[in-house]
Structures are given as C-alpha cells and as structure tokens.
Chains A and B, each alone.
Chain A
C-alpha cells in the first residue's frame, strides 16, 4: 500500500466535491471562479511526440529469412515489368501488364478481359483466405515478413545503417552537433531513401505501360504526365511511410493490427516471451547459480532490435508485428551465457501455460478453424482452376432482340433479330461462319453481308465483333413451333480449325 499523501487525497476528491468545498469568495466581496488554466501542469498533454526507435541490427535464423524474403519480394516488384512474354506481333510482349487503354490484363500465358475480372476477385479471395490461415497458424506472419511496409522499412533501416552506423552510432549522431560528418551522413541517408522511393514509384508505373518504352520516355522527359504523377505519389509515400513514419504506420494507420484479435487464438504460434522460464529476471554474475532465478538477464537486446521499439516481455501487444527479430537477439545472448535457446520463441498461449505447469505441449494443427480455411482455399482454388481450364479463347454472346420480339413479314413469315458478339481472344486473326441448327426452314441473314449467301466473318486479333443477324421462318414452317416458340442453336464455326461454338437461343412468333 502506498502512503497517502496530501496531494493524493486531493486527487481523489471529485470535481463536484471540490466545487462544493472550495470557498465561494476569494476575499470578502471578490468571487472565486471555478476555472483552471487549460495548460495547467496537472493536465497532461493529449498528444505525444514520437519517440524515435533506433532498431539494432539482429543476426540469426529469422533475420536471414527476412533478408531472403526482402530479396525475393523486392526483386519481383522491381524486375517483373521487364520480363518479356511473346504474344505475337500485334500484342504487348510484357509478361505482366495492366493495359488500361485497351482494357486488358496480361499475366504471362493469361490474358484477362474486363468481363473476366472474376479471376482477379477469386485471386483476392484466395489471398484473404491465405492470410486468415497463416494468421490463425502463426500470427502476423504477413506483418512481420512480407508486408510492403515492413519490407521497405527494413530496406530503409539497412540503408540508414550503411550511412550512419548501428543503433549506438545513430543515437550518438542524433545527439551530436551539426558537423560536416553529420550533415553528409544524414544527407546521404535521405538521398538514398529518395532514390529508392523514386525507383519504387517508377517500378509501379512500369506495370501499366510497356516498360522499355516508358523508360525511354522518362529518359527523354516526354512520358505522359500521369506517369510522373504516379511516380511522384509512390515515391512520396515510400519515402514518407518507409523512411520516416515506419512503425507509426503499423501502430496508428493500419487497420490490420485491430483485426488480429479475431484471427488468432490460444493455439496460434506467436512470438512469445516464456515468462515461466525468464522470471525472476535480473543481471547474472559470472559463476552465480541459475537456481532460483529466471534465464532472462534483462540485457534488453530484444527491445533494442525491435523495429517498433516495444518490449516483448510485456506480452502480446498491438504494436508487435511479430517479425521475430527479438528471437534472434535473445538466442544469440542465450548462446553467450550458455543457457538453452528459446527464451523468446514462436509458441502458443496454450502451450505457454502448459509449460509453466510442467505439462506436455501440443500444436493442435487440426483445429476446425485451420481445416475450414484450408478447405475454403482448396475449394476456391479448384473453382478457379476449373474456370481457367474451361476458359474459351473464343467467346460468343447471342443477345435476342426483345423489342420487337418478332416481326411479321408481308408474306406471313416471321423474322427474329439477334445481336451476336464474337470475342476473339486468340493472338491471331480468325475467320468464322455463322449458321443455325435445330430450326427447320430457317434462313439466316447478317446485316452488311446481304449479297453474300455464305459470308465469312473475320475477327481481328484480340477484338470483339458485333453482328446483327436476322433469322426468318417462312409461313408454312410456323405451325411446327409449339406455342409459337422454338429453341435452336446459333453455331459459330472457326474456319481455321473447324471448331464450333454453340449458343442456345429461342425463336418466337405470335402465339396462336
């Protein structure tokens, strides 16, 4: 129990009581107002200055994994637009290209038309489910290893270290007066950050326009202004978020940490401090026994390497992006003091409790949640694969005229109108013949080909051609329609390889 002091007592009095107890008059005839200064010292500021985090360099397994992930993800991001993929003479040879002017998305062997955007939707659903699965399994793996914010921040810190040295050197430099050495080290850091940022923004726009062409335009300063705008936006955000704001993004801007609570449970592998092993913490003298005390020597290496500047020993917390660098830091210390590794490790809340009681631990990999996520991923992948497999490179849409439904001709025959859209998704021009099947006595006429009895319709590479088609049934064939309606097929034959696409539609006449 704390000793109650006079001030504490005063603090415990509520505002209401204080007003009642305070004398109404400061002096005879002088009112005492119930008012205090807005900036009174007891009012703590509502806004806190950011405490700069000087992340120390870590060495170990997870740091190596993170370097590898950084190399792979940044490598893909920066280099992918330069990859070529042959699609014939009339189409772009860029492997991955989001072609807005022509409304196409090229992805290696795939070419997605706007109406096939569901492939992208499916991909996003898969990504979301994978995120759920990984988070339920091992916490914020995405945050800690692959999130662009983490990767670029890591890169910016690495560059900063090159110019200014590791944690202690950086802290000294920040306190030091502005000498020439400090100026060029700081300037060099920011110049490098800006260079990285501009490269990042540049790489982004290459996904939207042929990369070599755009590069040449950039060099000649005649690229479209929108390209410069987007390079500017992405350069600015990379510099600001990766270089300057860093952990502030994760803590204050990103919604993902807030969603975490629903994502992992007591069986998820989280970066955890094994309190049962570490406490009582405290400095350890050479030769001193480890009996009766914890393995944690309170060296605070785990805090020093943390990119968000927190103490993992305080337990799971919102600020922790689970990058596992504290595991690396702690393990290297455990090696030095000859204690077993894993004082900080990936562990589950359930196991931490079991370990502290000396019970057996288990991983619970067959949890319903994991199985459900895995099953959903398998299902969505299967649907996507089937859709991809059945994706035709020739698409035909037949739109029946609804106004008028049918037209009665002067000889008593009935004519129906259709709009046929042929999408040639192949990378070569194709020729087609249009016919009907299943409607006895029907004649077919294509607008624009009136003089041609058996017209050949050519559709250029990667284009859509719309045809107006009239199907006429003479008067004597009308009684064969049941209820005035008949189903039939419009058949599109590819003259190149003889393949056909059949489209079911109906023929209508006045019901009699």
Chain B
C-alpha cells in the first residue's frame, strides 16, 4: 500500500496532485468549511423552491413566495403616491394663492411642477423654460396672455389655438401675403415698430408707418404699441421678441403673420399637476 509522499522541503505530505512538476501540499481544509458548502447547496435548493429562479422557454419558475421585483417597484410607486396623496388632496382643495402661501405646499408644487414641466413642456419651452424662437421664454416678465397665477393656470388648461373650445385664440392678418398692405407700407410699419423699442429706425419712414400702424395695428396692439393681454397681442415697445427683433424678422411677421400653438393640458394632465405647473411657471421669475 502506497503511503503519501512527503515533501522534502516542508516535511508536509503532498496530495499527490502534480502540475508540471509542482506538487500540492496537503493542507486540509477544515471540515466545517465543507459543511458550510453543503449548507449553501441546501440553501440554494430552498431558494429555487421559494424564489423565481429557473428560466423556461417563454417563462420562468415563479417560486412559492411569489416574489417579483416588478411588484416591489409597483408597491414602492404606490407607496410614493400614497405619501404624496396628502399633498395632492390639499392642492386639489386649495386655490393657487393658497398653495403659494403654504411653504410645504409650495415646496411640493415646485418639485412636482418641475418634474411635470420636464416631461411635458420642455420639448418646446426648453429644459430651463428659456424658450426658443417662436416658443416664449417663461423666465422673463413678458406675458402674451398674462402672467398672474390664474392667467398661467388658464393658459395651461385651455392652451393656445389648441382647438379647445375656450382656447386662447387670436389671429394677426398676413398683411403682405393677403395683400392688405403694399411692400413699401410694410417697410414703413417695420421702421415704426422698430422705433417703438428704441431700435435702429429711419425717422421719416417711421412717421409714415405710424399712420398705417394706427389704422391697421392699433386695434389690437394699442395706439402706443403696448399690446393687450386680453387679446393676446404682444407688447411691441419692450426688448423681448418672440420671433426675433431684427428688421427682417419683424418684416416677416407683418408680411406673413404668426400663430403659435400650445396644447390644452386640461384633458391630458390631472388638475393637481396643472396647478403645480402653474405655481412652478409663476415662480420662474416673471410671475405677476
């Protein structure tokens, strides 16, 4: 009967395993280690039975405990909603000024409004509500349809030229395309409009344009060009131009008109979210 080989250097038995002349010393593992390994195997069998484990062709074994990470996510979402419901109920019951006056509700609305804004409004108005040509900057103090909480709230609900029955709506004639004004007259009006906000304008042309403006434009934009929130007519005397403040841009608007569209959110978002959005937009800096 063969006895284990003794390593001549260490005096320890070898296991008899050899790899390229290197032999393994027999340093036995403790038995409890082996038992831990068996315990893990038993645990894993229990795990297979209790938890979702094995992939099948089009499904997987569900396990007896019925655990599912989807359920966990759904539950935590439901919990989050339940935690929010206290706030949402208060928002539903409260008017906009009341929301703004309550620091906790204000904080909640600002956070919720910011999230809803990112999901629904940012594609046009930009992530920072900074707008773009044709899409108003909501940070500034200039409002086509009014910048009070209630005005913003209404605009959000009904939209602009959205097709909603109460939608904010108006139409500026296309003075050039519909041949209401001659190109020379349009040029004169452009000079006048430029002069309203201190732009670079020809004084003579502006004087001629002033007459045309009084006939054609003042009905909506006002004699002084300060616009009208009731009609949604922009103020032409300030520094803010939705479609650009250059001579070319202004001429283009007079010639072809513009009619921006914003959807009505009343049917799309819950009323609490629209209230949160109104408070959020109002807080961006231009709220009146």
Contacts and interface: CB of A to CB of B under 8 A. Distances in A.
B3 to A, nearest CB: 6
A403 interface: yes
Contacts of B140: 407-410, 415
Interface in B45-73: none
Contacts of A50: 30-32
Interface stretch (A41-49, A55-63, A84-92, A334-342): A41-49
Interface in A346-392: none
A47 B34 contact: yes
A8 to B, nearest CB: 8
Instruction: Point out which of B30, B106, B130, B137 has the most chain A C-beta atoms below 10 A from its C-beta.
Output: B30
Interface string A1-23: 00000011011100000000000
Interface residues of A, number: 34
The 8 closest A-B pairs by CB, nearest first: A403-B128, A410-B238, A48-B28, A404-B130, A407-B139, A412-B239, A410-B142, A42-B2
B30 A407 contact: no
Instruction: Point out which of B34, B103, B140 has the most chain A C-beta atoms below 10 A from its C-beta.
Output: B140
Contacts of A402: 128
Contacts of B137: 404, 407
B4 interface: yes
Contacts of B31: 47-50
Contacts of B19: none
A206 to B, nearest CB: 29
Given A407-B285, A410-B141, A410-B142, A47 B2 contact: no
Contacts, number: 94
B13 A48 contact: no
A448 interface: yes
A417 interface: yes
Interface in B106-151: 106, 110, 126-130, 137, 139-142
A48 B30 contact: yes
Contacts of B126: 403-404
B283 interface: yes
B235 interface: yes
B105 to A, nearest CB: 11
A409 B32 contact: no
A380 to B, nearest CB: 38
B79 to A, nearest CB: 16
Contacts of B283: 447, 468
B23 to A, nearest CB: 11
A286 to B, nearest CB: 35
B5 interface: yes
A401 interface: yes
A411 interface: yes
Given A403-B130, A448-B103, A42 B3 contact: yes
Nearest to B14: A44
Interface string A210-253: 00000000000000000000000000000000000100100010
Contacts of A10: 2
Nearest to B100: A448
A252 B33 contact: yes
B26 interface: yes
Instruction: Point out which of B2, B3, B31, B106 has the most chain A C-beta atoms below 10 A from its C-beta.
Output: B2
Interface of B: 1-5, 13, 15-16, 26, 28-34, 100, 103, 106, 110, 126-130, 137, 139-142, 235, 238-240, 283, 285-286
A415 B142 contact: no
A470 interface: yes
Contacts of A470: 285
10 contacts: A44-B26, A47-B28, A47-B30, A248-B30, A407-B130, A407-B140, A407-B285, A409-B240, A410-B239, A448-B100
A47 to B, nearest CB: 5
Contacts of B2: 7, 10-11, 42
Nearest to B6: A11
B30 A252 contact: yes
Interface in A464-502: 468, 470
Contacts of A412: 238-239
A466 to B, nearest CB: 8
B139 A417 contact: yes
Contact of B285 (A8, A11, A417): A417
A408 B30 CA distance: 76
Interface string A139-156: 000000000000000000
A50 B283 CA distance: 72
B32 to A, nearest CB: 6
A415 B285 contact: yes
Interface in A405-431: 407-412, 415, 417
Nearest to A10: B2
Nearest to A472: B285
Nearest to B137: A407
B237 to A, nearest CB: 8
A417 B283 CA distance: 11
A411 B140 CA distance: 10
B29 A46 contact: yes
Contacts of A448: 100, 103, 106
Given A252-B33, A448-B103, 5 more contacts: A7-B2, A11-B2, A402-B128, A410-B140, A417-B285
A245 B110 CA distance: 57
Contacts of A401: 128
Contacts of A468: 110, 283
A44 B4 contact: yes
A47 B29 contact: yes
Nearest to A252: B30
Contact of A44 (B13, B100, B128, B129): B13
Nearest to B5: A11
B75 to A, nearest CB: 17
Contacts of A411: 238-239
Contacts of A47: 28-31, 33-34
B182 to A, nearest CB: 31
Contacts of B106: 448
Nearest to B139: A407
A455 to B, nearest CB: 13
B38 to A, nearest CB: 11
Contact of B141 (A11, A43, A44, A409): A409
A53 to B, nearest CB: 13
B30 A404 contact: no
Nearest to B13: A44
Contacts of B286: 407
A414 to B, nearest CB: 10
A257 to B, nearest CB: 14
Contacts of A45: 28
A435 B283 CA distance: 20
Interface in A272-293: none
Contacts of A417: 139, 285
Nearest to B103: A448
A424 to B, nearest CB: 16
A410 B240 contact: yes
